[in-house]
Structure 1
């Protein structure tokens, strides 16, 4: 590097470059430097045959934070191949939708478009910042999470039409536009699959390529809708947790009650949670399953979605355990030697355990009484 700088000043009279990017040493799974001597270097052509060129590229870049050594593992290439499959499956899903111009865009779809537009702008700004700082792997990770988590797991679920039904034109066109932007963001890392899908995403001119397409530009994101969507995500995760715990099928619609509050983007929450409705109530239904989002309590009435006898047996077993636990804590706190000699923090922790157990016991007793009524 020093010779190149001196040569630049000597022969051209100016500094030849402003930035230097150092790549780390590629090491194997146990930390040895890859070399011919150790025979631990994989054959790149075999890797490409197994995982695809884009999968291998992505796997290596995900393991290559700027300036650090690269610990190579074939599992990273497998992750890259799986991500390629996810992109391909999302493309097949979107291009398989039938568009009906006569359908009015649902409120949940309209809100989804507003939210993902803000999320895309936020991600573009992060990616641009990472590129300016030569943090290539961080830029890739941002684009990867944007597509895998936000676009595939949330946005497509919000806008996709019901089974064998068409989608509205506004929602479809917005989705195609977002897909186009995502392919452009991923193209520097995954050039082959992004070029292939971009060519089939919309009509292209002769010789047109994603390589010459400009990168999407960020606008000022709507921070309010981004925050609202994070709240909705927590609510949906709470609802899905209740379904999993109570073995309630996702096709069964549930009623969601909120204790003395309101939630944003209700149309989105109703669609993602498969809710029959959302209501604000003043007190909790004892026979309902509850969860917290921040300081707000939500509950889902379950009498129509549960085996009452099985639920009573489960609650009775939990109640017996909590009563025994409470008794053991009370004995410990009634021991004057323990209270006098133990650190204050330990004694306070035991008192909190007693308080929590008492609260849980009261809640379970109320639920059992409600189920038996």
Structure 2
């Protein structure tokens, strides 16, 4: 007899994972005889720790990967981590300050990078170990890092390739700048939040002393950098102002009034202050009109020398001072409360500043066009389709991508400058001399945006730019699984990079999942105080319970709410599977023949038919990435049909004393259990592998076994209908027991008018066992049963049970009489209360409605009790 621990305890999970790793079952290799299926793990930051978002993303990927692996694909799930320039640099700076009392300037670039690599070696692998606890079945032998040798070579190749094609350029442009991180940001790295502020109205007087123009702004401090005021040329109110000069308050400068269609007629005062150095729209307008660009805010968010007496102030200090001075000098007209969206750094939350700076850019229009076409032509499909709208909106309105960052940790831009002759050289290999004049060169100080290397992830991880078998076999990948919040950051950039560099999109499908929210629908985060640590949940409930709770109820693109009750329910489900499996395993005897039986009984045919339907439904849903539907189907079949019904139906054969029947039951139970474990394995891999190992042939491993297939030879619709009718009959009898307060232990005779007497005769033993019946008697007419009876009618039969078999009729009549008397009294009291016009008129409406509901319930109770008494007779 095989053994299993009496109590489910997920402590075996580490042993199972080590077994998989030792067996190298996660590894994928070029195999011409198999179709490849590749998934690239969205690389978590090396600064990261496992959170619920990771847990959901990894669970969804692992379910797909395990399903595809069992379905016969050569499945590669390639893991890795991202160097995360800004986030990591912030960590290193904080660590140096805390532990050494040093700054970046103190240690220099090389000293800083030494510390950064040391930090990466110490902490960078932490999240990978955490992912293993979740059960991720990725090929760790191919683990990548965005700054490893291979990925770095791909970054250099791509940069030089883009540069030579004119797709990368360097120039003075207005960019997003984080004063805290002191680096440029792309548009996608700016998050907008609504802030309550003010709209300040003040006058700019004409230089000739005749009149003034009123403008309105949310940022009075930037007026110090104004170089024009713009009006719409079609605005008749402003027609006489164009070309005139204004005196800029608080300064000694004069600025022109210019006409530009950018200004909306009827919006605000009709005149707009133009600050080309600190607003992207103003910058473009300034280019059209040849306006001077005067920067008044420095890289740290401090007012510079161009701000005159306000130099050295922070932006907010300057704002307050400017408003005060405008008011004192009589320029301020009014202040109105105003709510508007303010851009913030996605990493530190600092208010982003728009500044003009010399930076590196990717020219996006030529790259966006084929990427848009790929989605429109269905070469790339978003699941759900509605996210294509998000993608198109971004790509069709895209601006050039600022890719330079004023950081030290990251891929350094491969551009070299010669101060002798002014030549700039972009090179894949490091150079120390100018190719033109031979003088020493200096390398660009900036590094590339982290997302530049992440955009190459689907092929840089496979050996690009080297031509190799892995790259040609595993690219393009099978599906990308990611959350909707990085469609801009990552998905779009991978698509255009794959098309431009590899000649085809990196994946045919993009599966978008939602985010994990708390029970109240709020986004989980540490700062909000509602975050949940997945590792703590794994410690308490096991990884399988966490995985199944995340998979249950999810749908592509939709957010999911996490509750402790949900994971407890899933732990109960895993426990139910464990107990049922233990029952099967403990009944296997050494001499049992576990081969599939030649002859099947009705219960066998029913469960096999139901099992085939589950195989079909789960397979279809997993192929459509409807993971939540697949999980729900498996939950219902496992809990109800297999555990609660089929195992109970098998017990008479197991315990009837007939060895042949025992072997038959065990063979069928192990067959169904094995198929069920395979179907459940992608969702709850640890417990299914552990259970399977308790009875499977030596050397057999569940995770690399074949996925079950639908077998029409074991589909028996007639028997399925009959046994569904049997189940309905048993449920109806159990409900009758509950309604009549008959204890489960009390057995009674049942008289059956059967639609199919032969079937009822065949299953009478099961009916007696499952419904608690002492004997089943087939009859043809109701008149064959005398006295008061209780009855239930189902598709299988009408079941008649003499009342005397169930209850003491006199005592039951007496009890029902007392209940009826009380119910009538309640109904009478409530009726009189509601007949009182004064009560109905003066009492709160809610109270009156409540009393009416009570009366309706009392009347219903009187009716039911009267019918029950009538059924008992006199």
Q: TM-score, normalised by structure 2?
A: 0.35
Moved more, 162-171 or 128-137: 162-171
Pairing of 1:6-45 with structure 2 (within 5 A): 6-45=496-535
* Pairwise CA distance, 1:269: 2.6
Residue aligned with 2:799, SS: strand
Answer yes or no: is the 8 Å Cα contact 1:63–1:76 preserved in 2.
Answer: no
How far apart are residue 365 of structure 1 and its match? 3.9
Indicate the residue corresponding to 2:671 in structure 1.
177
Alpha carbons of 1:101 and 1:192: their partners in 2 closer, same or farther (altered >3 Å)?
closer
- Contact 2:730–2:767 (CA under 8 A) maintained in structure 1: yes
What is the rounded CA distance, in whole Å, between the counterparts of 1:366 and 1:81 in structure 2? 45
Aligned to 2:601: 110
Against the structure 1 CA distance between its residues 316 and 290, is the aligned structure 2 distance closer, same or farther, given a 3 Å change threshold?
farther
**Match 2:752 to one of 251, 255, 258:** 258
Structure 1 pair 113–181 and aligned structure 2 pair: CA distance change class (3 A): same
Tell me which protein shows more helix as a share of its residues. Answer: 1
Report deviation, 1:134. 0.8
Equivalent position SS for 1:150:
helix
How far does residue 45 in structure 1 lie from its aligned partner after superposition? 1.4
The secondary structure found in structure 2 opposite 1:20 is: strand
Inter-partner Cα distance in structure 1 for 2:673 and 2:865 = 47
Instruction: Report deviation, 1:12.
Output: 2.7
In 2, Cα distance between equivalents of 1:309 and 1:160 = 38
Distance 1:265 1:271, change over 3 A: farther
1:230-262 Cα shifts (integer Å, max 9, x gaps) = 211111011112333344444444322234744
Q: Determine if the alignment matches structure 1 residue 53 to structure 2 residue 547.
A: no
User: What SS class does the counterpart of residue 39 from structure 1 fall into?
Assistant: coil
CA distance in 1, matches of 2:651, 2:797: 29
Deviation of residue 313 (structure 1)? 1.6
Go from structure 1 to structure 2 and tell me whether the alpha carbon gap of 1:131 and 1:260 turns closer, same or farther (over 3 Å shift). closer
Larger mean CA deviation between 12-21 and 67-76 belongs to 12-21
**Matching residue of 2:837:** none
* Superimposed CA distance per residue, residues 335-359 of structure 1 (whole angstroms, 9 cap, x where no aligned partner): xxxxxxxxxxxxxxxxxx99xx6x9
Preserved CA contact (<8 Å) 2:751 2:778: yes
| Residue 128 of structure 1: aligned partner | 619
State how far apart, in whole Å, the 2-side matches of 1:324 and 1:282 are.
41
Question: Which residue is 2:789 aligned to?
Answer: 288
| Cα 1:35–1:270 shift into 2, 3 Å | same
Give the match for residue 807 of structure 2: 306
Q: Aligned equivalents of 1:277 and 1:25: distance in 2?
A: 55
- Which consecutive unaligned segments of at least 5 residues does structure 1 have? 103-108, 326-352
Judged with a 3 Å threshold, the aligned counterparts in structure 2 of structure 1 residues 264 and 235 are, in CA distance, closer, same or farther, namely: farther
Q: Once superposed, what is the RMSD of the aligned Cα atoms?
A: 3.4
SS in 2 for 1:188: coil
Deviation of 1:298 (Å): 2.5
| Preserved contact between residue 250 and residue 274 of structure 1 (Cα < 8 Å) | yes
Correspondence list, 1:221-260, <5 A: 221-259=715-753
Q: 1:263: how far off?
A: 6.3
| Comparing 315-324 and 162-171, the one that deviates more | 315-324
Query: Over residues 18-60 of structure 1, what are the superposed CA-to-partner deviations in whole Å (9 max), with x where a residue is unaligned?
Result: 2110010211111111123213221111111111111111111
TM (normalized to structure 1)? Answer: 0.78
CA–CA separation in structure 2 for the residues paired with 1:86 and 1:234: 23
Q: Equivalences for 1:193-204 in 2 at 5 Å?
A: 193-204=687-698
Change (3 A) 1:265 1:76: farther
Q: 1:89 to 1:163 in 2, by over 3 A?
A: same
Are the aligned partners of 2:725 and 2:796 in contact in 1 as well (CA < 8 Å)?
A: no
Give the unaligned 5+ runs of structure 2.
1-490, 594-599, 827-858
Which protein has the larger Cα radius of gyration, Structure 1 or Structure 2? 2
The whole-number CA distance in structure 2 between the counterparts of 1:121 and 1:142 is 12
Alpha-carbon shift at residue 117 of structure 1 (Å) = 0.4
1:149 aligns with 2:606: no
Q: Which moved more, 1:170-179 or 1:243-252?
A: 243-252
Aligned match of 1:186: 680
Number of residue pairs aligned between Structure 1 and Structure 2:
335
User: In structure 2, what is the Cα distance between the partners aligned to 1:71 and 1:194?
Assistant: 26
Does residue 215 of the first structure (1) align with residue 707 of the second (2)?
yes
Q: Counterpart of 1:367?
A: 872
Alpha carbons of structure 1 residues 245 and 363: separation in structure 2 relative to 1, 3 Å: closer
Q: Does the C-alpha gap of structure 1 residues 288 and 134 become closer, same or farther in structure 2, counting only changes over 3 Å?
A: same
Cα distance in 2 for partners of 1:131, 1:33 equals: 27
Structure 1 Cα separation of the partners of residues 865 and 794 of structure 2: 18
CA 1:164 to 1:120, structure 2 compared with 1: closer, same or farther past 3 Å?
closer
Q: 1:303 to 1:33 in 2, by over 3 A?
A: same
Given the alignment of the two structures, is residue 79 of structure 1 paired with residue 580 of structure 2, yes or no?
A: no
Identify if the C-alpha distance between structure 1 residues 363 and 37 changes in structure 2 by more than 3 Å, giving closer, same or farther: closer
In 1, the alpha carbon distance for the partners of 2:868 and 2:531 equals 60
Separation in 2, partners of 1:101, 1:28: 50
Partner residue in 2 for 1:70: 560
Equivalent-residue separation in structure 2 for 1:62 and 1:311 (angstroms):
45
Deviation at 1:161, TM superposition (A): 3.9
Q: Residue 348 of structure 1 corresponds to which residue in structure 2?
A: none
Q: Quote the residue 2:586 is aligned against.
A: 96
Greater shift in the superposed pair: 240-249 or 77-86 = 240-249
Secondary structure of the 1:255 match is strand
Indicate yes or no: 2:631 matched with 1:137. no
Deviation at 1:179, TM superposition (A): 0.6
Q: 1:316 to 1:232 in 2, by over 3 A?
A: same
